[in-house]
Amino acid sequence: MQVRSLKGTRCHKAVLSCLGAATWLCAMAPFPAAAQQKADGADLSADLRPAPKQPPTILATPPFTVAMTQLAGCFVVNIGSTPQDVTVIARTDDGSPPVRATFPVAPNTVSGSEAYINASQPVQLSCEFQSSDVTLIRGSVAVFEAFSNHPVLQIIPAN
């Protein structure tokens, strides 16, 4: 068997020819039996249907530092069309127990929790937002100067 080296345009044409042949083979190959069933799965028994995907129930901010001269609180907005019961948990790294608050949030409104942190020393803080479907809420943490109540920082959790 003789092996030849392809260079430049000849190599490019050979690669494209192989890719074209592979694409044609994939297009002409019969679909597996599972792919030929109805897309909605109506003909599958209840035992064989995949379970519906559950919405996520927790959002969390990354930890960040709150100085001794600052206050921090967790805030949530309901972007859905129905009221949402939201539990907010503020967690610190100083050994303090988490501060937890549960409250209803009306549609298109912002609510702050009672989970405020007033640190006696610099502390790492994160907020967790729990709801039956967190795709309908957005949460953030706001940090304020304790003496002037001016906002310093806001952190928004990932969706």
Domains delineated in the chain: 58-155 (2.60.290.11)
CA distances to 4, 34, 100, 116 from 92, rounded to whole Å, are: 67, 50, 12, 11
Give pLDDT, residue 42.
54
Query: How many whole angstroms separate alpha carbon 32 and alpha carbon 99?
Result: 54
- For residue 19, give Cα distances in angstroms to 11, 16, 126, 135, 159: 12, 5, 51, 42, 39
Q: What is the pLDDT of residues 36-88, one digit of tens each?
A: 444 455 555 666 777 777 777 899 999 888 888 888 888 899 999 999 999 99
> CA 26, 32, 34: angle at the middle one, nearest 5?
140
Residue 132, token pair as written in the block:
């039956």
Length of the chain: 159
Which of 4-18, 87-101, 105-119 has maximum average pLDDT?
87-101
Give the model's pLDDT for residue 55. Answer: 74
